[in-house]
A = this chain, B = another copy of it.
Amino acid sequence: MSLARRFILKLSCPDRVGIVATVSNFIASNNGWITEANHHADALSGRFFMRLEILADSLPFDIETLRERFAPIADDFGMTWHISDSARKKRVVVMVSRQEHCLYDLLARWHADELNIEIPCVISNHETFRGLVEWHGIPFHYVPVKPESKADSYAKVMEIFDENGGDVMVLARYMQIIPPQMCEKYPGQIINIHHSFLPSFVGAKPYHQAHARGVKLIGATCHFVTSELDQGPIIEQDVIRIDHSDQPEDLVRYGKDIEKAVLARGLRYHLEDRVITHDNKTVVFR
Protein backbone atom coordinates (compact mmCIF):
# COMPACT_ATOMS: atom_id res chain seq x y z
CA MET A 1 0.00 0.00 0.00
CA SER A 2 1.31 3.39 -0.94
CA LEU A 3 0.03 5.26 2.10
CA ALA A 4 1.69 8.60 2.75
CA ARG A 5 4.22 8.65 5.59
CA ARG A 6 2.62 9.16 8.99
CA PHE A 7 3.73 9.65 12.57
CA ILE A 8 1.71 7.63 15.06
CA LEU A 9 1.29 8.95 18.58
CA LYS A 10 -0.18 6.70 21.24
CA LEU A 11 -0.51 7.56 24.87
CA SER A 12 -2.33 6.88 28.11
CA CYS A 13 -2.64 8.97 31.26
CA PRO A 14 -5.02 9.71 34.15
CA ASP A 15 -8.22 11.18 32.70
CA ARG A 16 -8.95 14.88 33.24
CA VAL A 17 -10.35 17.86 31.37
CA GLY A 18 -8.27 19.24 28.52
CA ILE A 19 -6.16 16.34 27.30
CA VAL A 20 -7.61 16.21 23.79
CA ALA A 21 -7.67 19.99 23.57
CA THR A 22 -4.01 20.30 24.55
CA VAL A 23 -2.79 17.53 22.27
CA SER A 24 -4.86 18.58 19.27
CA ASN A 25 -3.87 22.22 19.76
CA PHE A 26 -0.24 21.21 19.73
CA ILE A 27 -0.76 19.33 16.47
CA ALA A 28 -2.91 22.02 14.86
CA SER A 29 -0.61 24.86 15.88
CA ASN A 30 2.12 23.06 13.92
CA ASN A 31 -0.28 22.64 11.01
CA GLY A 32 -0.39 18.84 11.49
CA TRP A 33 -2.97 16.95 9.44
CA ILE A 34 -4.62 14.17 11.46
CA THR A 35 -5.78 11.24 9.33
CA GLU A 36 -7.02 9.01 12.13
CA ALA A 37 -7.84 9.66 15.76
CA ASN A 38 -9.11 7.42 18.55
CA HIS A 39 -9.82 8.13 22.20
CA HIS A 40 -11.02 6.00 25.06
CA ALA A 41 -11.85 7.17 28.54
CA ASP A 42 -12.12 4.21 30.87
CA ALA A 43 -14.64 5.11 33.53
CA LEU A 44 -13.71 2.25 35.88
CA SER A 45 -9.97 2.89 35.99
CA GLY A 46 -10.14 6.63 35.38
CA ARG A 47 -7.54 6.31 32.66
CA PHE A 48 -7.51 7.97 29.25
CA PHE A 49 -6.12 6.42 26.06
CA MET A 50 -5.44 8.12 22.74
CA ARG A 51 -3.96 7.37 19.33
CA LEU A 52 -3.35 9.78 16.47
CA GLU A 53 -2.05 9.34 12.94
CA ILE A 54 -0.52 12.55 11.58
CA LEU A 55 0.74 13.12 8.03
CA ALA A 56 4.52 13.44 8.39
CA ASP A 57 4.79 15.98 5.59
CA SER A 58 2.23 18.27 7.17
CA LEU A 59 4.55 18.99 10.11
CA PRO A 60 7.42 21.47 9.82
CA PHE A 61 9.87 19.24 11.66
CA ASP A 62 11.09 15.65 11.89
CA ILE A 63 10.10 12.92 14.36
CA GLU A 64 12.89 13.75 16.81
CA THR A 65 11.74 17.35 17.08
CA LEU A 66 8.16 16.15 17.37
CA ARG A 67 9.18 14.01 20.33
CA GLU A 68 11.13 16.86 21.94
CA ARG A 69 8.30 19.32 21.63
CA PHE A 70 5.67 16.85 22.78
CA ALA A 71 7.63 15.76 25.87
CA PRO A 72 6.64 18.71 28.10
CA ILE A 73 2.95 18.09 27.36
CA ALA A 74 3.40 14.43 28.19
CA ASP A 75 5.06 15.36 31.44
CA ASP A 76 2.27 17.74 32.41
CA PHE A 77 -0.37 15.04 32.04
CA GLY A 78 1.73 12.16 33.35
CA MET A 79 1.49 10.33 30.06
CA THR A 80 2.97 7.01 29.06
CA TRP A 81 3.57 7.71 25.39
CA HIS A 82 5.20 6.57 22.16
CA ILE A 83 5.65 8.09 18.71
CA SER A 84 6.49 5.88 15.74
CA ASP A 85 7.18 6.50 12.07
CA SER A 86 5.33 4.51 9.41
CA ALA A 87 8.37 4.84 7.13
CA ARG A 88 10.41 2.67 9.48
CA LYS A 89 9.38 -0.94 8.92
CA LYS A 90 9.21 -2.88 12.17
CA ARG A 91 11.51 -5.87 12.41
CA VAL A 92 9.58 -9.04 13.23
CA VAL A 93 11.44 -12.16 14.29
CA VAL A 94 9.30 -15.25 13.72
CA MET A 95 9.65 -18.30 15.94
CA VAL A 96 8.30 -21.60 14.59
CA SER A 97 8.38 -25.28 15.34
CA ARG A 98 7.01 -27.92 12.94
CA GLN A 99 3.54 -26.59 12.11
CA GLU A 100 3.37 -24.58 8.93
CA HIS A 101 0.03 -22.78 8.89
CA CYS A 102 1.01 -19.58 10.70
CA LEU A 103 4.42 -19.40 9.03
CA TYR A 104 3.02 -19.66 5.49
CA ASP A 105 0.37 -17.13 6.37
CA LEU A 106 2.91 -14.62 7.66
CA LEU A 107 5.23 -15.18 4.70
CA ALA A 108 2.35 -14.56 2.28
CA ARG A 109 1.49 -11.30 4.03
CA TRP A 110 5.15 -10.28 4.07
CA HIS A 111 5.45 -11.14 0.37
CA ALA A 112 2.39 -8.99 -0.39
CA ASP A 113 3.85 -6.19 1.77
CA GLU A 114 0.59 -6.20 3.67
CA LEU A 115 2.06 -5.73 7.14
CA ASN A 116 4.74 -3.12 6.42
CA ILE A 117 7.42 -5.24 8.14
CA GLU A 118 10.82 -6.72 7.65
CA ILE A 119 11.47 -10.28 8.78
CA PRO A 120 15.19 -10.19 9.60
CA CYS A 121 15.16 -13.90 10.41
CA VAL A 122 13.16 -16.95 11.41
CA ILE A 123 14.22 -19.02 14.42
CA SER A 124 13.14 -22.61 14.91
CA ASN A 125 13.85 -25.58 17.13
CA HIS A 126 13.56 -27.79 14.03
CA GLU A 127 15.13 -27.67 10.57
CA THR A 128 11.78 -28.33 8.86
CA PHE A 129 11.24 -24.94 7.26
CA ARG A 130 14.80 -23.85 6.50
CA GLY A 131 14.30 -24.29 2.74
CA LEU A 132 11.01 -22.43 2.57
CA VAL A 133 12.28 -19.52 4.63
CA GLU A 134 15.58 -19.24 2.80
CA TRP A 135 13.80 -19.32 -0.59
CA HIS A 136 12.19 -16.07 0.54
CA GLY A 137 15.67 -14.63 1.13
CA ILE A 138 15.17 -14.65 4.89
CA PRO A 139 17.92 -16.07 7.15
CA PHE A 140 16.94 -19.16 9.14
CA HIS A 141 18.42 -20.00 12.54
CA TYR A 142 18.14 -23.50 13.96
CA VAL A 143 18.22 -23.33 17.75
CA PRO A 144 17.34 -26.71 19.23
CA VAL A 145 15.71 -26.73 22.65
CA LYS A 146 16.72 -29.66 24.83
CA PRO A 147 15.55 -30.16 28.41
CA GLU A 148 19.10 -30.15 29.67
CA SER A 149 20.19 -26.92 27.97
CA LYS A 150 17.15 -24.67 27.76
CA ALA A 151 18.94 -21.72 29.33
CA ASP A 152 21.61 -21.84 26.62
CA SER A 153 18.97 -22.11 23.90
CA TYR A 154 17.07 -19.06 25.04
CA ALA A 155 20.28 -17.12 25.56
CA LYS A 156 21.00 -17.88 21.89
CA VAL A 157 17.49 -16.82 20.84
CA MET A 158 17.83 -13.51 22.69
CA GLU A 159 21.25 -12.94 21.17
CA ILE A 160 19.86 -13.49 17.64
CA PHE A 161 16.88 -11.27 18.34
CA ASP A 162 19.09 -8.46 19.62
CA GLU A 163 21.65 -8.76 16.84
CA ASN A 164 18.85 -8.51 14.31
CA GLY A 165 17.41 -5.41 15.92
CA GLY A 166 14.11 -7.16 16.54
CA ASP A 167 11.10 -5.05 17.48
CA VAL A 168 8.62 -7.88 17.85
CA MET A 169 8.95 -11.60 18.42
CA VAL A 170 6.08 -13.70 17.10
CA LEU A 171 5.54 -17.19 18.45
CA ALA A 172 3.90 -18.68 15.36
CA ARG A 173 2.92 -21.95 17.02
CA TYR A 174 6.37 -22.25 18.57
CA MET A 175 5.12 -24.82 21.08
CA GLN A 176 7.74 -24.06 23.73
CA ILE A 177 7.29 -22.24 27.00
CA ILE A 178 9.29 -19.00 27.07
CA PRO A 179 11.31 -18.62 30.31
CA PRO A 180 10.26 -15.79 32.66
CA GLN A 181 13.49 -13.82 32.33
CA MET A 182 13.01 -13.64 28.56
CA CYS A 183 9.36 -12.54 28.99
CA GLU A 184 10.55 -9.81 31.31
CA LYS A 185 13.36 -8.68 29.03
CA TYR A 186 10.92 -7.97 26.17
CA PRO A 187 7.71 -6.74 27.80
CA GLY A 188 4.96 -6.10 25.23
CA GLN A 189 7.22 -7.33 22.46
CA ILE A 190 6.48 -11.08 22.40
CA ILE A 191 3.19 -12.11 20.80
CA ASN A 192 1.80 -15.62 21.01
CA ILE A 193 -1.12 -17.39 19.37
CA HIS A 194 -2.78 -19.74 21.84
CA HIS A 195 -4.96 -22.49 20.43
CA SER A 196 -7.96 -21.97 22.66
CA PHE A 197 -10.47 -19.30 23.50
CA LEU A 198 -8.78 -18.20 26.72
CA PRO A 199 -9.42 -18.41 29.61
CA SER A 200 -10.94 -21.76 28.62
CA PHE A 201 -8.58 -24.67 28.32
CA VAL A 202 -5.27 -23.24 29.44
CA GLY A 203 -2.24 -25.48 29.22
CA ALA A 204 -1.64 -28.47 26.99
CA LYS A 205 -3.84 -30.04 24.33
CA PRO A 206 -6.69 -27.51 24.47
CA TYR A 207 -8.50 -29.07 21.51
CA HIS A 208 -8.65 -32.39 23.32
CA GLN A 209 -9.93 -30.61 26.41
CA ALA A 210 -12.57 -28.86 24.26
CA HIS A 211 -13.67 -32.15 22.74
CA ALA A 212 -13.94 -33.77 26.14
CA ARG A 213 -16.16 -30.97 27.45
CA GLY A 214 -18.40 -31.01 24.36
CA VAL A 215 -18.26 -27.29 23.55
CA LYS A 216 -19.96 -26.12 20.36
CA LEU A 217 -17.39 -23.49 19.36
CA ILE A 218 -13.60 -23.53 19.56
CA GLY A 219 -11.32 -20.53 19.39
CA ALA A 220 -7.89 -19.00 19.40
CA THR A 221 -6.32 -16.15 21.33
CA CYS A 222 -3.54 -13.75 20.35
CA HIS A 223 -1.88 -12.31 23.45
CA PHE A 224 1.25 -10.71 24.80
CA VAL A 225 3.50 -13.18 26.53
CA THR A 226 4.18 -12.56 30.20
CA SER A 227 5.88 -14.70 32.75
CA GLU A 228 2.54 -16.13 33.80
CA LEU A 229 1.66 -18.85 31.27
CA ASP A 230 -1.39 -18.07 29.07
CA GLN A 231 -2.27 -15.10 31.30
CA GLY A 232 -0.90 -12.15 29.32
CA PRO A 233 -3.04 -9.29 27.95
CA ILE A 234 -5.39 -10.53 25.20
CA ILE A 235 -5.11 -8.67 21.88
CA GLU A 236 -7.56 -10.59 19.69
CA GLN A 237 -9.75 -13.69 19.77
CA ASP A 238 -12.13 -15.51 17.50
CA VAL A 239 -14.08 -18.76 17.35
CA ILE A 240 -15.35 -21.29 14.84
CA ARG A 241 -18.38 -23.57 15.08
CA ILE A 242 -17.92 -27.30 15.52
CA ASP A 243 -20.34 -30.13 16.21
CA HIS A 244 -20.59 -33.63 17.61
CA SER A 245 -19.18 -35.19 14.45
CA ASP A 246 -15.84 -33.46 14.90
CA GLN A 247 -13.14 -35.52 16.52
CA PRO A 248 -10.12 -33.96 18.26
CA GLU A 249 -8.14 -34.17 14.99
CA ASP A 250 -10.88 -32.19 13.24
CA LEU A 251 -10.70 -29.53 15.93
CA VAL A 252 -6.95 -29.30 15.40
CA ARG A 253 -7.53 -28.81 11.67
CA TYR A 254 -10.28 -26.19 12.07
CA GLY A 255 -8.25 -24.59 14.79
CA LYS A 256 -5.37 -23.88 12.44
CA ASP A 257 -7.59 -21.67 10.32
CA ILE A 258 -8.73 -19.61 13.23
CA GLU A 259 -5.23 -19.48 14.75
CA LYS A 260 -3.60 -17.97 11.71
CA ALA A 261 -6.42 -15.47 11.18
CA VAL A 262 -6.37 -14.32 14.80
CA LEU A 263 -2.58 -14.09 14.90
CA ALA A 264 -2.51 -12.01 11.73
CA ARG A 265 -5.12 -9.59 13.02
CA GLY A 266 -3.58 -9.25 16.46
CA LEU A 267 -0.11 -8.80 15.03
CA ARG A 268 -1.32 -6.11 12.63
CA TYR A 269 -2.95 -4.18 15.48
CA HIS A 270 0.32 -4.29 17.37
CA LEU A 271 2.50 -3.37 14.38
CA GLU A 272 0.30 -0.38 13.58
CA ASP A 273 0.60 0.78 17.20
CA ARG A 274 -3.10 0.28 17.78
CA VAL A 275 -2.68 -1.60 21.06
CA ILE A 276 -2.17 0.00 24.47
CA THR A 277 -1.91 -2.26 27.50
CA HIS A 278 -3.03 -1.35 30.97
CA ASP A 279 -3.74 -3.51 33.98
CA ASN A 280 -3.17 -6.77 32.04
CA LYS A 281 -5.78 -5.79 29.44
CA THR A 282 -5.56 -4.13 26.05
CA VAL A 283 -7.16 -1.14 24.42
CA VAL A 284 -7.20 -1.92 20.68
CA PHE A 285 -7.98 1.05 18.43
CA ARG A 286 -8.95 -0.84 15.29
Contact with B along A23-41 (1 / 0, CB 8 A): 0110111011111111111
Q: Taking the nearest CB of chain B, how far is it from the CB of A201, in angstroms?
A: 8
Per a CB cutoff under 8 Å, which of B31, B105, B111 touches A108? B105
A interface bracket (residues with beta carbon within 8 Å of B): 35 or more
* A62 sits at the interface (CB 8 A): no
Please tell me which stretch of A89-97, A144-152, A178-186, A213-221 contacts chain B, meaning at least 4 of its Cβ atoms lie within 8 angstroms of it: A213-221
Chain B residues within 8 Å of A114, by CB: 253, 256
Chain B residues within 8 Å of A235, by CB: 216
CB pair A17–B28 under 8 Å, yes or no, is yes
Do A214 and B197 contact each other (CB < 8 Å), given the known contacts A112-B101, A132-B135, A244-B284? no
Cα separation A99 to B112 with both chains bound (whole Å) = 8
* A243 sits at the interface (CB 8 A): yes
Chain B residues within 8 Å of A21, by CB: 21, 24-25, 27-29
Enumerate chain A interface residues (CB-CB to B < 8 A). Answer: 1, 17-18, 20-22, 24-25, 27-29, 31-44, 49, 58, 99-101, 103-105, 107-108, 111-112, 114, 131-132, 135, 197-201, 213-217, 219, 233-239, 243-245, 247, 249, 253, 256-257, 261, 264, 280-284, 286
Kindly list the 9 A-B residue pairs having the minimum CB-CB distance in the complex, ordered from nearest. Answer: A214-B281, A104-B108, A21-B28, A21-B24, A18-B28, A244-B283, A20-B24, A37-B39, A216-B237
